[in-house]
């Protein structure tokens, strides 16, 4: 088996959520446990931090990884989805898993005589990550939940810290139709006696988290009540934070919600210190300052070009777009061009209501089977007062927006992780 054959197996012989959506969602841990036992329970060989939440869990996971790397630890990082290369999901000290390691894992799986349940793409990828981290002898791994928490494949770990960033309405067909129901699913990562940091809460979700923590005898910190951020200032390429306990921090991530993510991370660092981990203030500052370059993070208010100002962002639900809409308003360009597309299982009506009406829209669709047809998106958008042009691909939409834009204009690309993936693929080829 070569690498392309390995990737073909992962994407064509298993159920892949990013391709087909609900059909690939397999709630429950039975298959993951079977696979873990097949590979010798690798997740028991290193410490872990478990990160869940509706928005910000990717940024939070990468920041924690970067800080721990700067503190001198050997750190694994498991995130999803990937944007360009499958191997982005599994990293050690910022380096992607090698092609040979992917091949080796799948060869061992296929030759194992495994007779259990047919694993999904995510179940196989999760055990591949744990197996790789064990072989690489990581000191600690930051594990991002795929979907939900309680029944997510990653929830076979017993972490030293659980983190839940926030709750908003997303994946309601799996997790519930209210914030309290979704919070209950995500609170499923809280383990007995294990500290948990909650980034943000509302009146509907706080008692859910408090109740679960009490049931599990887990110390709980509500970062929202322990704000480390005194003040913030945004520049074109960084977010400067004045903090209570860590001095001045220059954050490489500049999104509108990044001060909230940063506060969650800083409170998590305080808990990690209390557990005995050596993390200096310098490691924290350095981790924030180079999080993208250290961990390979892409697609979080990611600047592509200066004139015109081009950014992309993977925000894809109402919570994320609340911040995106504010960021677009504050950017105040001469003209705003929005290249946008979604997948079909998102409730986009409320998202469209948030978007600025004084922009020119380039409606498109990502290159995945779950894509919402661009014509349907345009129809819904026009009903909300958003007008623009229709394009079959993200590449065509962006290329036309770029032709129309002047140096003082702004182009935003987003709506779906998969729109950003198509965009970054195009930029890389360019």
End residue of a domain, out of 200, 224, 248: 224
As beta bridge partners, residue 52 has 164
Question: Which CATH number goes with the domain that contains 365?
Answer: 3.90.190.20
Tokens 């002898």 belong to 137
Inside any domain, residue 13:
yes
What does the pLDDT read at residue 17? Answer: 47
Of residues 328, 322, 329, 324, the one with CA closest to residue 313 = 324
**Could you tell me if 215 and 345 lie in one domain?**
no
Inside any domain, residue 256:
no
**Could you tell me if 28 and 145 lie in one domain?**
yes
Three-class SS of 350-419: HHHHHCCCCCEEEECCCCCCCECCHHHHHHHHHHCCCCEEECCCHHHHHHHHHHHCCCCCEEEEECCHHH
Q: What is the DSSP letter of 236?
A: S
Question: Which CATH number goes with the domain that contains 157?
Answer: 3.40.1190.10
Q: Residues near 277 by Cβ (< 8 Å), separated by ≥ 6?
A: 68, 71, 73
What does the pLDDT read at residue 142? Answer: 98
> Number of structural domains, the chain?
2
Radius of gyration of the chain, Cα coordinates, nearest whole angstrom: 21
End residue of a domain, out of 193, 224, 255: 224
Inside any domain, residue 183:
yes
End residue of a domain, out of 205, 224, 243: 224
Inside any domain, residue 364:
yes
Inside any domain, residue 210:
yes
Query: Could you list the pLDDT tens digit for every one of the 430 residues in the chain?
Result: 999 999 999 998 876 545 444 454 556 799 999 999 999 999 999 999 999 998 899 999 999 999 999 999 999 999 999 999 999 999 999 999 999 999 999 999 999 999 888 899 999 999 999 999 999 999 999 999 998 899 999 999 999 999 999 988 654 455 667 899 999 999 999 999 999 999 999 999 999 999 999 999 999 999 999 999 999 998 767 899 999 999 999 999 988 789 999 999 999 999 999 999 999 999 999 999 999 999 999 998 999 999 999 999 998 888 888 889 988 988 889 999 999 999 987 789 999 999 999 999 999 999 998 899 999 999 999 999 999 999 999 999 999 999 999 999 999 999 999 999 999 999 988 7
Q: Residues near 185 by Cβ (< 8 Å), separated by ≥ 6?
A: 148, 149, 150, 151, 175, 176
What does the pLDDT read at residue 346? Answer: 78
**Could you tell me if 9 and 145 lie in one domain?**
yes
**Domain that residue 317 falls in:** 302-429
């Amino acid at each position: 088996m070569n690498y392309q054959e390995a990737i073909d197996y992962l994407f064509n012989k298993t159920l892949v959520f990013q391709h087909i959506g609900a059909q690939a969602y397999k709630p429950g841990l039975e298959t993951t446990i079977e696979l873990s036992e097949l590979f010798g329970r690798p997740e028991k060989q290193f410490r872990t931090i478990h990160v869940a939440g509706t928005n910000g869990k990717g940024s939070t996971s990468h920041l924690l990884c970067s800080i721990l790397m700067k503190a001198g630890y050997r750190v694994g990082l498991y995130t999803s989805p990937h944007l360009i290369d499958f191997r982005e999901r599994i990293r050690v000290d910022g380096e992607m898993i090698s092609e040979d390691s992917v091949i080796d894992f799948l060869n061992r799986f296929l030759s194992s005589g495994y007779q259990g349940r047919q694993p999904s793409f995510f179940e196989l990828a999760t055990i591949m990550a744990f197996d790789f981290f064990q072989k690489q002898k990581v000191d600690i791994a930051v594990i991002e939940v795929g979907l939900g928490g309680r029944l997510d494949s990653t929830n076979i770990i017993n972490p030293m810290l659980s983190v839940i960033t926030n709750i908003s309405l997303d994946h309601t067909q799996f997790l519930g139709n209210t914030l309290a129901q979704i919070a209950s699913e995500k609170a499923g990562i809280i383990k007995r006696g294990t500290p948990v940091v909650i980034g943000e809460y509302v009146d509907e979700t706080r008692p859910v988290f408090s109740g679960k923590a009490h049931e599990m005898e887990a110390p709980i910190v509500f970062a929202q009540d322990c704000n480390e951020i005194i003040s913030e200032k945004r520049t074109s390429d960084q977010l400067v934070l004045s903090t209570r306990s860590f001095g001045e921090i220059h954050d490489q991530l500049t999104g509108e919600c990044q001060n909230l993510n940063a506060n969650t991370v800083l409170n998590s660092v305080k808990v990690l210190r209390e557990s005995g981990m050596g993390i200096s203030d310098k490691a924290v500052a350095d981790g924030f300052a180079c999080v993208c370059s250290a961990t390979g993070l892409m697609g979080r208010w990611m600047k592509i070009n200066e004139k015109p100002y081009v950014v992309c962002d993977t925000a894809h639900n109402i919570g994320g777009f609340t911040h995106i809409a504010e960021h677009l308003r504050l950017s105040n360009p001469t003209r705003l061009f929005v290249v946008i597309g979604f997948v079909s299982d998102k409730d986009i009506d409320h998202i469209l209501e948030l978007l600025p009406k004084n922009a020119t829209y380039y409606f498109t669709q990502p290159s995945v089977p779950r894509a919402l047809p661009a014509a349907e998106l345009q129809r819904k958008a026009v009903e909300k007062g958003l007008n623009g042009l229709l394009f079959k691909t993200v590449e065509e939409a962006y290329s036309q927006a770029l032709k129309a834009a002047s140096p003082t204009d702004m182009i935003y690309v987003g709506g779906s992780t998969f729109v950003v993936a198509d965009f970054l693929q195009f930029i890389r080829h360019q």
